[in-house]
Amino acid sequence: MNAALPGFFAPWAIYAAVLLLHLALPARQLTGYARHEETGEKLRYRLNGTLVAAVSVGLWLAAAYSGLMPWDWLWTVRWPSAAGALTLGLLMSAAAVLPASSRGGSLLAQFYLGRLANPRFFGGRVDAKMFLYLAGAVLLQLHLLAFAAHHFLAFPDDPSPGVVLYVVLFTWFVWDYLVFEHVHLYTYDLFAERLGFKLVWGCLSWYPYFYVVGLWAVADLANPQAPAWLAVLATLIFFAGWTLARGANMQKYVFKRDPDRAFLGRIEPRVLTDGERRLLCSGFWGASRHVNYLGEILMATGLALALGWPLILAPWLYPLYYVALLLPRERDDDRRCAAKYGALWEQYRAAVPWRIVPRVY
């Protein structure tokens, strides 16, 4: 049977299943950081990302194990599936933006950046942004498994250890997000961005397809016989990055919830204050103003190296994308914080002069 049509609709079906699981499975109820635009009240969230992802992977395993679907079916249909996700992402972006009231400015800019801040569905049970991140994370995880399965089916006698390392590290990355889903409630896209093409298409089309660009490019190649030291280096770089990103995000999360608490029981929250507002300037937030972005770039570099093909361009597109994403984002956030904190932000800039890379940039 021609797999193009089922492939095209595969992401639609998977996202629908994720939505059903998200609605049906038990969830933690939490107060977030973003506020309702009219009432000013902090928004409440239902979060069950780890459970939804675990059940999704379980269903995928059951379907492949029972022979209902080849282990590498999502690899086989990756092109029509990407076309389906791209189309769905466009349609959903239009659905998120067009019915909402205009915010002024060009339609194109509004389409890209969005109009609504934090739309909710199903009587508030589904927050659109958190659902989109979850849906993208689940499909990314399934792609990792299916693409690796393809490699093992293609090279059963000598599979590449780099593929295994890449999938293990990337799986860590995905589950790190899911386990700390609540911490994500305190990030920029949740409290500062609106729901437009950037976020909708980004989560439904870009995140689960482009992020695996490295494996997409090399799953069909034989074992490169990369030296063991490269795998060790990739792992070290990945976890150095993870420590910076997770550490900084957790330190800020602890600080926002309990400003006087020492992070990890050790790093006292040294702050700059104007008497009313406070900015952290110790620990990760004393190293640079966005050391978490450096962490993300290092993790992506570790993933690119893990595959064992350092001279192929495609795996490097992933860390390059982070550089292109996070450098302007840091500038945007810096402008936003300068407007929000005024002279206090100037003090912070003077105390912590580095934007992303301590002592370099």
Q: Which of residues 322-341 bind ligand NDP (CB under 6 A)?
A: 329, 333, 336-337, 340
Nearest-angstrom CA–CA distance, 138 and 14: 9
Neighbours of 255 (CB within 10 A): 22
Q: How far is the CB of 130 from ligand NDP (least distance, A)?
A: 14
Buried b (16+ CB within 10 A) or exposed e, 211-247: bbbbbbbbbebeebebeeebbebbbebbbbbbebbbb
Q: Which two tokens stand for residue 270?
A: 């040294």
Looking at the Cβ atoms of 147 and 177, the one nearer to ligand NDP is 177
Looking at the Cβ atoms of 72 and 296, the one nearer to ligand NDP is 296
Dihedral (C-alpha) 263, 266, 269, 270: value to the nearest 10 degrees?
A: -150
Nearest-angstrom CA–CA distance, 251 and 235: 23
Q: How far is the CB of 89 from ligand NDP (least distance, A)?
A: 15
Write phi, then psi, for 35 (nearest 5 degrees): -115, 150
Return the range that interacts with ligand NDP (CB under 6 A); candidates 17-25, 105-113, 219-227, 290-298: 290-298
Instruction: Write down the number of H helices and E strands in the chain.
Output: 17, 6
HEC profile for 266-295? Answer: CECCCEEECCCCEEECCCHHHHCCCHHHHH
Q: How far is the CB of 325 from ligand NDP (least distance, A)?
A: 6
Q: Which of 130, 148, 279, 303 binds ligand NDP (CB under 6 A)?
A: 279
Q: Does 182 bind ligand NDP (CB under 6 A)?
A: no
Binding-site string for ligand NDP from residue 217 to residue 256, where x marks contact by CB under 6 A and - marks none:
----------------------------x---x--x----
Q: Which of residues 186-215 bind ligand NDP (CB under 6 A)?
A: 187-188
Total residues interacting with ligand NDP, rule: CB under 6 A = 18
Looking at the Cβ atoms of 149 and 200, the one nearer to ligand NDP is 200
Q: Does 267 bind ligand NDP (CB under 6 A)?
A: no
Q: How far is the CB of 80 from ligand NDP (least distance, A)?
A: 25
Looking at the Cβ atoms of 8 and 318, the one nearer to ligand NDP is 318
Return the range that interacts with ligand NDP (CB under 6 A); candidates 84-92, 102-110, 212-220, 289-297: 289-297
Q: How far is the CB of 202 from ligand NDP (least distance, A)?
A: 8
Buried b (16+ CB within 10 A) or exposed e, 33-42: bbeeeeeeee
Residue type, 167: V
Run of H or E residues at 35: strand 28-35
Q: Does 290 bind ligand NDP (CB under 6 A)?
A: yes
Nearest-angstrom CA–CA distance, 168 and 110: 38
Dihedral (C-alpha) 127, 97, 88, 168: value to the nearest 10 degrees?
A: -50
Q: How far is the CB of 91 from ligand NDP (least distance, A)?
A: 22
**Contact residues: ligand NDP, CB under 6 A:** 187-188, 245, 249, 252, 279-280, 285, 290, 292-293, 296, 329, 333, 336-337, 340, 348
